[in-house]
Amino acid sequence: MTTTSPRRGALVRLTLTSVGVPVVIIGLSAWFFMSYRLDVIAQQIGATRTALVEGVEGRHLIGQAQRIADTIDRYVVERIASLRIWASDPLVVNAARAGAEHHEAEGLVGLDPEALEARAPPEKSLRAFPETDQRLHAFILASPDFAETFFTDVHGLNIATTNPTSDMLQSDEGWWQQAWHRGLHIGEVEYDASAAVWSVALSLRIDDPDDGAPLGVLKAVLALDVVQGIADRTETTLREDGNVQVAERKGRLIADTKSGHAPERLMQEEVGIADEILALVEGGEPAGLVSGDHMLTAFARTPGGTLYEAVAPDFAGLGWIVVVREATNWMEGEVATLVQIEGALQEWRLLLAAVLAGIAGVSILMAALLAVGERSGKGGA
């Protein structure tokens, strides 16, 4: 028995040295290699997701925002061109000339505003030129995007209107003075009480076609439901949870498709586009992308600039902000296969770790048994 135990111990040591240790070393090498490759795969999956978000879909959403911004600018340019046609209509020009003389003959010129309003009829116009009133209504019927229009004489007194204005005298208004001195004024977004709509007012000076002398000012109220319609059409092309917002230069909402352009959200100081986007735009970014909370948000500012040169050379642009948002959950399907492969490899890594732990446990157990056997042999000797 004393000769067998040393042989058995030598055999166990040989087994541990020649089999157990190499298996553990090879297993650990394989585990570390697999862990390294899994980290690489995880990085590649992250890069693929980023490429989808910021590369493919991000560029698409930025393009959507830029197209809306460009469409809005082109739409306003077209409306200004329409106004120039209206302001050069012979009926309008002749009424502007004759209207000043008529108001002087009626003793309305030079009255203080209170006395003038006391004499003004409910229509806020003397209706001395019925054919011109009809022509304005025809303009609106042909261009329903405008909620109302009217024009004044050289004194700022109403000559013809499609809707009664709040008062008859307009020359004390900032928009009238800007249009009179500069030829054109494009107002900020505001609620037009007489038309009962959120709108932008376009005001254009009426010039005599013969000598260029100013004769009056034509104002038209452009309703913003047109802008909301542009946003709605884009929203239908987006994926689930898509949303399109349009805000004026201060970030207050003009359009918000997700809420159906709810009145309580429009032009409210406490409701608007995200502060992060507003800061980027105010910092000079014409367009960009923001991601987070499983949402992808693209923004673009209306370009302005050279687009207005033909109709409004002194106008810098609206400065409105378009925001297009879309959920990124759908992108998980695009990388699902890679995620499944990563999961399978993670399972293999766990299995390999378990095998290595088992081999290590058996080796430890065998070493312990060997030590006990050797102690027993020595005690028996």
Ranking 36-50, 77-91, 98-112, 113-127 by mean pLDDT, the lowest is: 36-50
Q: State the Cα–Cα distance between residues 157 and 117, nearest whole angstrom.
A: 11
Mean pLDDT of 292-318: 83
Q: What is the pLDDT of residue 360?
A: 65
- What is the per-residue pLDDT for 159? 97
In angstroms, the Cα distances linking 63 to 10, 54, 143, 282, 299 are: 76, 12, 29, 20, 9
**Has domain 88-223 been given CATH number 3.30.70.2740?**
no
What are the φ/ψ torsions at residue 184 (nearest 5 degrees)? -155, 145
The domain limits of the chain are 1-77+224-381, 88-223
pLDDT category at 155 given cuts 50, 70, 90 is: very high
Assign a CATH topology to domain 1-77+224-381.
Beta-Lactamase (3.30.450)
Q: Closest Cα partner for 79 from 322, 313, 311, 320?
A: 311
DSSP 96-163: HHHHHHHHHHTT-TT--HHHHHHHS-TTSS----HHHHHHHHHHHHH-TTEEEEEEE-TTSBEEEESS
Do 1-77+224-381 and 88-223 fold alike per CATH? yes
Contacts of residue 270, Cβ cutoff 8 Å, sequence gap at least 6: none
Name the token pair of 76: 């306003």
For residue 188, give the amino acid letter: E
State yes or no: pLDDT of 20 exceeds 60: no
Look at residue 17 in the predicted model and tell me its pLDDT.
Answer: 62
Span 58-100, pLDDT tens digits = 888 999 999 999 999 999 999 999 999 999 999 999 999 999 9
- Higher local confidence (pLDDT), 353 or 191: 191
User: Mean pLDDT score of the chain, rounded to an integer?
Assistant: 82
pLDDT value, residue 47:
61
Q: What is the DSSP string of 180-195?
A: HHHSEEEPPPEEETTT
The pLDDT of residue 313 is 80
Both tokens of 339, joined, read: 């995620």
Give the Cα separation of 349 and 352 in Å (integer).
5
Residue 30 phi/psi, 5-degree rounding, is -60, -40
What average pLDDT does this structure show over 260-264?
A: 90
Q: Which of 128, 114, 224, 225 is nearest to 169 (CA)?
A: 114
Whether 1 has a pLDDT exceeding 50, the answer reads no
Check residues 338 and 269 and name the one with the higher pLDDT: 269
DSSP state of 30: H
pLDDT of the residue at 197: 79
Strands 158-161 and 146-152: antiparallel
- What are the tens digits of pLDDT across the range 221-261? 998 888 999 999 999 988 778 899 999 999 999 999 999 99
